[in-house]
Amino acid sequence: MKYIVSNSLLLVFTILLFSCKQNVKSEKIEQQLILTDSLQNLISVDTAIMRYITTPLNLSGQVAFVEDKMVEIFPLFGGNVVEIYAELGSYVKKGSPLATIRSSEVADFQQQEIEAQANLEIAEKDLDVANDMAKSGLSSRKEILFAQKKLDNARAQLKKIKEIISIYNISGNSLYSLKSPVSGFVVKKNITREMQLRSDNNHNVFTISGLDEVWIIANVYESDISKIKLNNPAQVKISAFPKKIWNTKIEKIYNILDPESKTMMVRMKLSNHDYKLKPGMFAQVQTTNSQLKAEREVSINKNALIFNNNNQYVVIIKPDNTFEVKEIKVKTITGDYAAIMSGLNENDRVVNENALLIFNAITAN
């Protein structure tokens, strides 16, 4: 049975306790505190009952990038970095320029474009001449076909060079641009202005990643591996947001044991459209094996628990309506309920709401 607490009655509760202390000083205060009508308006009472409780597994981990959404960008040619347009942590849209680089290799493509354009103009003139001579009877059909074939080849060559220039984002003055192929955040940057890039450079200069989804990578100790199953439900807490819980499931089990830490990794995915979650943040994961049979445990609402001096307590109401503080051992806390290992029996009445006020009053002396 529950009783609604009102702020106005807290004062009444304090007066009642003070009155009890003043009237009977020779007796212990726990003998003076009785569940009266006034106190009933200040507290709520829960009953310890047997519930099916599945013991959760607590894991530690961290927020990580979704690898499928990470794109590494490499320099196309060696050269000198002229300008940089994106910094670490910047959000860039697909097609946005990241850097401009001057390269002698780019100049070769520009020269090829000029030559291909000139060859096209020559081929067009040759075809016109062949057609005019054919009209005058001075050339054959074969010569016209040859001139047409030469023109087609010139057009194809120019188209090829223009496509290369477009793909490599080549502009004038031997410059080309590195552009982002996807929208996302710059999560790695290994390039500076005036930096000299070698043509044989095999290191990426930018890494772009979307953050609308993130992974949670958690570590499982060797002794707990048998408790982990694919699609097990999981609750994630992030240290930066202690009051928020993300509900997810285990979507991948990395069946490899780290030889040093003796742990195996598991992965979950969280939606992150508001970009609150940052890769590297510490995460706490609680998961249960849905395939295991839950056990019946004496349990109470977790709000009834009182932590004091590294011990756990509850305040019970005895049959004669007096209060008593009892030390307990908690086996596990799952959701809103705590499974009690010892110190509490089924059907014991426990103060749920404002239990700490009663506890402080009883233990004051």
Residue 234 vs residue 51, higher pLDDT: 234
* pLDDT for residue 71: 94
Q: For the chain, which domains are there?
A: 8-54+294-362 (2.40.420.20), 57-68+210-287 (2.40.30.170), 69-209 (2.40.50.100)
Residue 38 vs residue 8, higher pLDDT: 38
pLDDT, tens only, 270-313: 999 999 999 999 999 998 876 556 678 888 988 899 998 889 99
Structure confidence at residue 32 as a pLDDT band (50, 70, 90): low
- pTM for this entry: 0.59
Structure confidence at residue 339 as a pLDDT band (50, 70, 90): confident
* pLDDT for residue 293: 61
Interval 167-185 mean pLDDT: 84
Mean pLDDT for the chain overall: 83
Structure confidence at residue 60 as a pLDDT band (50, 70, 90): very high
* pLDDT for residue 220: 95
What amino acid is encoded at 179 in this protein? K
Asked if the model's pLDDT at residue 19 lies above 60, the reply is no
Residue 134 vs residue 226, higher pLDDT: 226
pLDDT, tens only, 106-158: 777 778 888 888 988 888 888 888 887 777 777 777 888 888 898 899 899 88
